[in-house]
Amino acid sequence: MNRFYFFCLLGLGLVSPLRAEGLVTMLSTNSVEITSNYTGTEISVFGAVERDAQTIIRRTPYEIVVAVKGPSAPFIVRQKEHMGLIWVNANQQKFGLVPKFYAVISSGKFNSIVNSEQQNKLNLGLRAITSRSSLSAEEIQLGNESFQDALIRLRKEQSLFKQDDDSVIMQRANTFRANLSLPANAPLGRYEIMVYLFTGGTLLASESSGFYVRKIGFEADTALLSRSRPFVYGVLAAAMAIFAGWIASVIFRRN
């Protein structure tokens, strides 16, 4: 759509023909459907850098950064501390809205493609998305590791945060491909994919798209029933349990 408007404007002579690059991206799927045998999936992001005869010649190579952001929620990180004999959760820090899934995939080293100032401005990268902690005064920092580091480390261990350097494959001159592996524990909801084109530390273009992760069939019906008719669901679960227990005792009696 943006391209369409661009060409319209170009035709009207409102835009200088000496233009910067554009980005075109495409996803291998728009929707990840979860059924009983779901164990995670792979999504490919394809893209091309658009340039024509008028585009300025760059001395530095193109760099691509792909950021995948899942649905967000407030987070609390707690730290244990020795109190008398036992270890208890003593300090905690609240984080405002943090994505429940986040992956940043880049063609080179992420931190050398995007400097920290740009990361904060674009809200791009694991540091930036976890930096906006809540305003509450509960953030007492003790110990060697900050709460932010702990949050990033723990989410990485669950494969819910990722930073894959050197993982966007530049095919031929101006086309690229990035593979995103979505783990089995990836949260449900809308995912936003932002693709950024950088060169020599400058942002040239960006393009956004998205996909959904959702349950279908039996899994969706079950989850829906448990929320819309919790009493019916509970009675069904209890009835199923009693029935199964009775069946078992019948089977064993025959032996």
Partner 1 sequence: MQIYLPIAEISVDVFLILGMGAAVGFISGMFGVGGGFLMTPLLIFVGIPPAVAVATQAAQITASSTSGAISYWRQKALDERLALVLSTSSILGTIVGVWTFNALRRAGQLDLTINLSYVALMSFIGSFMLFEALRAMLRRRRGRAILKRKAGNHSWYQKLPLRVRFYKSQICVSAIPLVALGSFIGFAGAILGIGGGFILIPALIYLFRVKTSVVVGTSILQLLFSMMVTTILHSMTNNSVDIVLALLLIVGGVFGVQFGARVGQKLRGEQFRLLLALLVLAVGLRFGLELVLKPEEMFSVRIQDSIP
Q: How far is the CB of 43 from partner 1 (least distance, A)?
A: 17
Q: How many CB atoms lie within 10 A of CB 228?
A: 9
Spatial distance between the Cα atoms of 107 and 97, rounded to a whole number of angstroms: 28
CB 75 within 8 A of CB 93: no
Q: Is 75 in the site for partner 1 (CB under 8 A)?
A: yes
Q: How far is CA 42 from CA 27, 31, 101, 107, 108, in A?
A: 11, 12, 14, 18, 21
Comparing CB distances to partner 1, the nearer of 130 and 163 is: 130
Contacts with partner 1 by CB under 8 A: the residue count is: 61
Tell me the sheet residues that pair with 87. Answer: 82
Comparing CB distances to partner 1, the nearer of 31 and 116 is: 31
Q: Is 151 in the site for partner 1 (CB under 8 A)?
A: yes
Comparing CB distances to partner 1, the nearer of 67 and 186 is: 186
Q: How far is the CB of 5 from partner 1 (least distance, A)?
A: 38
Q: Is 145 in the site for partner 1 (CB under 8 A)?
A: yes
No. of H helices and E strands in the chain?
7, 12
Q: Is 9 in the site for partner 1 (CB under 8 A)?
A: no
Comparing CB distances to partner 1, the nearer of 46 and 233 is: 233
Spatial distance between the Cα atoms of 255 and 12, rounded to a whole number of angstroms: 87
Q: Which residues contact 175 (CB under 8 A, 6 or more apart)?
A: 46, 47, 48, 49
Give me the phi and psi of 103, to 5 degrees please.
-135, 135
Comparing CB distances to partner 1, the nearer of 91 and 209 is: 91
Q: Which residues bind partner 1 (CB under 8 A)?
A: 34-40, 73-80, 82, 85-89, 100, 143, 145, 147, 150-151, 153-155, 184-185, 187-188, 215, 218-220, 222-223, 226-227, 230-231, 233-238, 240-242, 244-249, 252-253
